[in-house]
């Protein structure tokens, strides 16, 4: 983990409501793993807390990090307004990422902005027999499908790309045809809950990347606690920023 001034190499529209920013941050990129994130300092003195941003891609050789950011609030709007040549203070890499565990066939599941960290997982762990399943609102929200390292099936809420269906539909069809060794997923909570249910019922190992509001990003403030199950049947709290954001699906209590 290191705190540096990262240089903005490019900032452009990636899809509707989504900005892609590429940073030159070699000190972070060399240690970054799929599923991890960085904490970005919002330009201007009025915003004290940094914003947690997942890594869509990392290139240790080039020293770059690729981010997909929704400019929803004032903080992310200011970050997304950065221009080429600007610098943004970044802390990272942070959190616990995905782990391929030597799996031969992995099914990747992403929804909305959650597709971004799944793209990083695909780059790190996809094989010839792997498959990705992405869910988008409309065709205008599509990203992450070009030059993917494995086959990708996309569905949408309105049927403007792929089938009009939930992403779990093609996922289940694929599982019935070929059972994967592992599932990796990130997206809206209802989607993660559905993936967790499928994996649990079929006893398929599954890793879920959770999203939660964070303050410090390093486990000190306890602002991102989530309830998790323990093996003895009891439960406790864990920190999404430090213990996650990636958890074994059997742990997560939605």
In tens, the pLDDT along 215-250 reads 888 888 888 999 999 988 899 999 999 999 999 999
Whole-angstrom Cα distance, residue 250 to residue 215?
26
What's the mean pLDDT when you consider all of the chain? 95
Q: What does each C-alpha distance from 139 to 15, 21, 142, 238, 246 come to in angstroms?
A: 9, 21, 5, 36, 28
Q: Which of 94, 126, 159 delimits the end of a domain?
A: 94
Q: In a 10 Å sphere around its CB, with 0-12 CB exposed, 13-18 middle and 19+ buried, how is residue 250 labelled? A: middle
CA 11 → CA 18, 28, 67, 96, distances in Å?
Answer: 11, 19, 10, 27
Whole-number pLDDT of residue 45 = 62
Whether 112 and 188 have beta carbons less than 8 Å apart is answered as yes
The answer to whether the predicted template modeling score (pTM) of the entire model surpasses 0.85 is: yes
Is residue 216 assigned to a domain? no
24 falls within a domain: yes
Question: Do residues 80 and 121 share a domain?
Answer: no
Buried b (16+ CB within 10 A) or exposed e, 199-228: beeeebbbbbbbbeebbbbebeeebbebeb
Pick from 63, 94, 125: which residue ends a domain?
A: 94
Residues 82 and 112 in one domain: no
Number of domains in the chain: 2
- Tallying the residues shown for the chain, one arrives at 254
- Are 6 and 69 members of one domain? yes
CATH number at residue 162: 3.40.50.80
Check whether residue 68 and residue 154 sit in a common domain: no
Q: 54 and 120 share a domain?
A: no
Give the domain extent around 76.
Answer: 2-94
Cα distance between the two ends of the chain = 29
- Report yes or no on 243 lying in a domain: no
Q: Could you tell me if residue 254 is inside a domain?
A: no
103 pLDDT above the threshold of 80: yes
Contact assessment for residue 141 and residue 217, using Cβ atoms and an 8 Å cutoff: no
pLDDT-based confidence at residue 47 (cuts at 50, 70, 90): low
Instruction: Identify whether 145 is part of a domain.
Output: yes
| 3 state SS for 125-159 | HCCCCCEEEEEECCHHHCCCCCCCCCEEEEEECCC
What's phi and psi for 235, nearest 5 deg? -145, 165
How far apart are alpha carbons 89 and 229 in whole angstroms?
36
Q: Does 110 lie in the same domain as 48? A: no
Residue 106 has pLDDT above 80, yes or no: yes
Whether residue 25 has pLDDT greater than 80:
yes
Cis peptide before 93 (omega within 30 of 0): yes
Mean pLDDT score, 64-90: 95
Same-domain check for residues 33 and 11 = yes
Q: Does a structural domain hold residue 83? A: yes
Say whether both 112 and 170 belong to one domain. Answer: yes
Domain-embedded: residue 66: yes
Residues 28 and 76 in one domain: yes
Do 79 and 121 fall into the same domain?
no
**Is residue 219 one of the residues assigned to a domain?**
no
pLDDT of residue 92: 97
The answer on 81 and 23 residing in a single domain is yes
Residues 70 and 152 occupy one common structural domain = no
What was the pLDDT predicted at 231?
Answer: 86
**Residue 209 above 70 pLDDT?**
yes
Closest C-alpha to 75, from 45, 39, 42: 42
Question: Mind listing the pLDDT tens digit for each residue in 146-205?
Answer: 889 999 999 999 999 999 999 999 999 999 999 999 999 999 999 999 999 999 999 999
CATH number of domain containing 42: 2.40.30.10
């Amino acid at each position: 983990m290191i705190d540096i001034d990262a240089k903005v190499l490019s900032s452009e529209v990636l899809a509707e409501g989504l900005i892609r920013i590429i940073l030159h941050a070699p000190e972070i990129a060399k240690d970054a793993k799929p599923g991890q994130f960085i904490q970005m300092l919002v330009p201007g003195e009025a915003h004290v807390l940094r914003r947690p941003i997942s890594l869509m891609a990392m290139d240790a050789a080039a020293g770059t990090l690729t981010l997909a950011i929704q400019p929803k609030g004032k903080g992310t709007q200011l970050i997304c307004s950065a221009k080429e040549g600007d610098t943004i203070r970044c802390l990272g890499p942070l959190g616990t990422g995905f782990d391929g565990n030597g799996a031969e066939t992995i099914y990747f599941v992403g929804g909305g902005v959650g597709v971004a960290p799944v793209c990083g997982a695909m780059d790190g762990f996809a094989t010839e027999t792997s498959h990705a399943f992405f869910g988008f609102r409309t065709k205008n929200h599509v990203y992450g499908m070009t030059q993917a390292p494995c086959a990708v099936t996309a569905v949408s809420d309105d049927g403007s790309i792929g089938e009009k269906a939930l992403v779990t539909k093609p996922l289940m069809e694929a599982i019935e045809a070929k059972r994967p060794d592992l599932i990796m997923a990130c997206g809206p909570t209802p989607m993660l809950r559905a993936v967790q249910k499928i994996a649990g019922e079929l006893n398929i190992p599954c890793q879920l990347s959770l999203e939660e509001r964070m303050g410090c990003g390093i486990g000190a403030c306890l602002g991102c606690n989530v309830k998790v199950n323990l093996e003895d049947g009891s439960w406790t709290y864990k920190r999404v920023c430090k213990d996650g954001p990636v958890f074994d699906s059997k742990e997560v209590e939605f």
